[in-house]
Amino acid sequence: MSNIAVIGLGIMGLPMAVNLVKAGHTVTGYNRSEDKVNKLVAEGGKGASSVADAVKDAEVVITMVPDSPDVESVVSGVADGKDGVFANATKGALWIDASSIRPDVAARLAADAREAGLRPLDAPVSGGEQGAIDAVLSIMVGGEKADFDAALPILRAVGKTIVHVGPSGSGQTVKAANQLIVAVNIQALSEAIVFLEAYGVDTDAALKVLGGGLAGSKVLDQKGQKMLDRNFDPGFRLALHSKDLGIVTSAAREAGVVVPLGAAVAQLVSALVARGDGGLDHSGLFKLTAELSGKE
């Protein structure tokens, strides 16, 4: 069993930390909102007052924060006004960044981590809040193979499909592709449900039969009922998906490839965020599709 520090106890980070506790690890959490730390403590974890305090005795440091600047501030110490992960973590510790950030930033920070004596892995996750709660996340990991092998027992406590996809930054590249596929699927599902409702079809029955055919997907399984119920409580916020689609479109431009569907959905997501719906679940794409059709 390992001493693990988890920095960032949000929608994904808290259930991941709790599952690590359940697996028998000693888990110390830090979050800017103290109530999240208290929730971890109630589940058998420990709380820390700063990043430096959380990581000082950790063999493994996991960061799960919203965006590239947030990761940089946590590792540098800007996040809490004290020295961050790189200055305080034990030499030889594994640093697993489970955040979804730009691939180029992930590669640069990995190089900085190695200079600080740490073993970095970029390991973004997919599966949403429920996947984090159920410990069945899909985890795409970039970094050295030996470091991946060392981290595998830890990752198995929070995920089900765990794959080493290449050197540092590769995990973030695969996550960007994941977010592209998910966003386009959510938009297609939104359009399909608006279409079905316009014709008065039994939508519950329709989604059941669609789910059993080639149109079936985890997006349909997890988001279809939310759209039917108009329940957009966040499992993964539109604001974060907007950030991820920005990563996709920027990286695609740098690579010289086109993502026309991704770019179109990115604009729809941006429109929802701009009008104040960024806190909704990303299935909230349905709202805009319905409104454009004059159905809401």
**Alpha helical stretches, state H, the chain:** 13-22, 34-42, 51-55, 68-76, 85-88, 103-115, 128-133, 145-155, 170-198, 203-211, 218-229, 238-255, 260-272, 285-292
Residues 6+ away with beta carbon under 8 Å from 86: 75, 76, 112, 113, 116, 118
Query: How is residue 65 written in tokens?
Result: 């924060």
* Catalytic annotation present for 175: yes
- Using CA atoms, how far residue 156 sits from 150, 153, 162, in Å, is 11, 5, 8
Asked whether 131 and 137 are in contact (CB, 8 A), the reply is: yes
Asked whether 147 and 119 are in contact (CB, 8 A), the reply is: yes
Q: Residues 175, 223, 243, 287: which is the catalytic one? A: 175
- What SS3 class is residue 116? coil
Determine phi and psi for 208, rounding to 5 degrees: -65, -50
Burial zone of 200 (CB within 10 Å; 0-12 exposed, 13-18 middle, 19+ buried): exposed
Known catalytic residues are 175
